[in-house]
Amino acid sequence: MIIWGTGAGGADLGQQSVQECPVCEKDRPFNLLLRYRYAHLYYLRWVTKRQYFLACEICQRGAELNVPETEKALGKDPVPFMTRNGWMFLLGAIVVAVLTFAALTGGR
């Protein structure tokens, strides 16, 4: 049985500024939010989509931000390691299996 699927996650990356909210019509704190989608095979995951938003802390309304520019400004990737790079463990297991097979058969 193969366990394949998709999922979603998100993170509040903290307050970025205080500005006037067009919905609340008052000065409000705006937070940087991340939403992402991932695919998985068993527990091995990889990110398929990212969205960053600058949103009002009170009403949660705001604007979507450019992904490359936002990630460049952040410096560190906020998506958990196993969610963004879990696929590397599958690749590593395949490489180890191939090398082990080659060593056991003498490269024939």
Does this model's pTM top 0.85? My answer is no
Whole-angstrom distance, CA of residue 96 vs CA of residue 70: 37
DSSP E strands in 2-107: the ranges are 4-20, 27-41, 44-56, 62-65
- Indicate if the pLDDT at residue 107 is higher than 70: no
Average the pLDDT over 97-104 and give the result.
Answer: 89
Residue 54 in tokens: 């600058």
- Indicate if the pLDDT at residue 9 is higher than 90: yes
Q: What is the pLDDT of residues 31-88, one digit of tens each?
A: 999 999 999 887 788 899 999 999 999 998 999 999 999 989 988 889 988 888 877 8
- Indicate if the pLDDT at residue 1 is higher than 70: no
Count of domains observed in the chain: 1
Average the pLDDT over 7-34 and give the result.
Answer: 92
Per-residue confidence band for 108, with pLDDT thresholds at 50, 70 and 90: low
Domain that holds residue 46: 4-105
